[in-house]
Chain A
Amino acid sequence: MTETSISTKGSNWGYAPAPESADHFKLKEQYGLFIGGKFVPAGSGKRFATINPANEKTLAQIADAGEKDVDKAVKAARTAYDKVWRKMSGRERGKYLYRIARIIQEKARELAVVESMDGGKPIRESRDVDIPLAAAHFFYHAGWADKLGYAFPGKSASPIGVAGQIIPWNFPLLMVAWKVAPALACGNTVVLKPAETTPLTALLFAEICQEAGLPDGVFNCITGAGSTGAALVKHPGLDKVAFTGSTDVGKAIQKSLAGRSTKLTLELGGKAANIIFEDAAIDQAVEGIINGIFFNQGHVCCAGSRLLVQESVEQEVVEKLKARMEHLIVGDPLDKNTDIGAINSKAQCERIRDYLKVGQDEGAELFQTKCPVPEKGYWVRPSFFTKVAQSHRIVQEEIFGPVLAIQSFRTLDEALEKANNTPYGLSGGVWTDKGAKIFKVTRGIKAGVIWANTFNKFDPSSPFGGYKESGYGREGGRHGLRPYVELS
Chain B
Amino acid sequence: MSGNGENMKSGRLDVRKTYKMLIGGAFVRSESGRALDVNAPGGKWLGHVCRASRKDFRNAVVAARKAASGWSNTTPYLKGQILYRAAEMLEGRATTFREVLQSIGLSPAAAKTEVTQAIDLLVYYAGWADKYLQVFGSVNPVSSPYFNFSVTEPMGVVAYVAGEKRPLLDLVSGIAPIVAGGNTVITLSTGRAAVAAMELGEVLATSDFPHGVINLLCGLREELVGQMATHMDVNALVTQGADAKESAASREACALNLKRFFPREANGKGDEDPYRILDTVEIKTTWHPVGG
Given A155-B275, A254-B258, A477-B140: A464 in contact with B251 (beta carbons within 8 A): no
Main SS of the interface on chain A?
mixed
Q: Is the CB of A457 within 8 A of B146?
A: yes
Does chain B have a CB within 8 A of A465?
yes
Does chain A have a CB within 8 A of B286?
yes
> How many whole Å from B141's CB to the nearest CB in chain A?
5
Q: Is the CB of B260 within 8 A of A452?
A: no
Binds B, one of A50-58, A225-233, A466-474: A466-474
Q: Is the CB of B282 within 8 A of A448?
A: yes
Residues in A with CB closer than 8 Å to B254 are 254
* Residue with the greatest number of chain B CB neighbours at <10 A, chosen from A250, A252, A258: A258
Q: Mark out the residues of chain B between 229 and 283 whose CB falls within 8 Å of any chain A CB in the assembled complex.
A: 235, 244, 247-249, 251-252, 254-258, 260, 274-275, 282-283
Q: Please give me the residue from chain B that is nearest to A478 by CB atom.
A: B138
A254 to B286, CA, bound (A): 28
Q: Is the CB of A450 within 8 A of B289?
A: no
A14 to B287, CA, bound (A): 35
Does chain A have a CB within 8 A of B81?
no
Does chain B have a CB within 8 A of A255?
yes
A427 to B249, CA, bound (A): 30
Q: Is the CB of B287 within 8 A of A462?
A: yes
> How many whole Å from A200's CB to the nearest CB in chain B?
27
Cross-chain contact of B140 among A438, A450, A463 (Cβ < 8 A):
A463
Cross-chain contact of A154 among B247, B258, B274 (Cβ < 8 A):
B274
Q: Is the CB of B143 within 8 A of A479?
A: no
Query: What bracket does the count of chain B residues touching chain A fall in?
Result: 35 or more
Q: Is the CB of B287 within 8 A of A450?
A: yes
Q: Is the CB of B285 within 8 A of A464?
A: yes
Query: What bracket does the count of chain A residues touching chain B fall in?
Result: 35 or more
> How many whole Å from B76's CB to the nearest CB in chain A?
14
Q: Is the CB of A259 within 8 A of B258?
A: no
Residues in B with CB closer than 8 Å to A474 are 283
A155 to B274, CA, bound (A): 11
Does chain A have a CB within 8 A of B150?
yes
> How many whole Å from A168's CB to the nearest CB in chain B?
17
Cross-chain contact of A452 among B144, B252, B258, B288 (Cβ < 8 A):
B288
* Residue with the greatest number of chain B CB neighbours at <10 A, chosen from A155, A250, A251: A251
Does chain B have a CB within 8 A of A454?
yes
* Residue with the greatest number of chain A CB neighbours at <10 A, chosen from B138, B142, B287, B289: B287
Interface residues of chain B, those whose CB is within 8 Å of chain A, are 135, 138, 140-144, 146, 148, 150, 153, 155, 235, 244, 247-249, 251-252, 254-258, 260, 274-275, 282-289
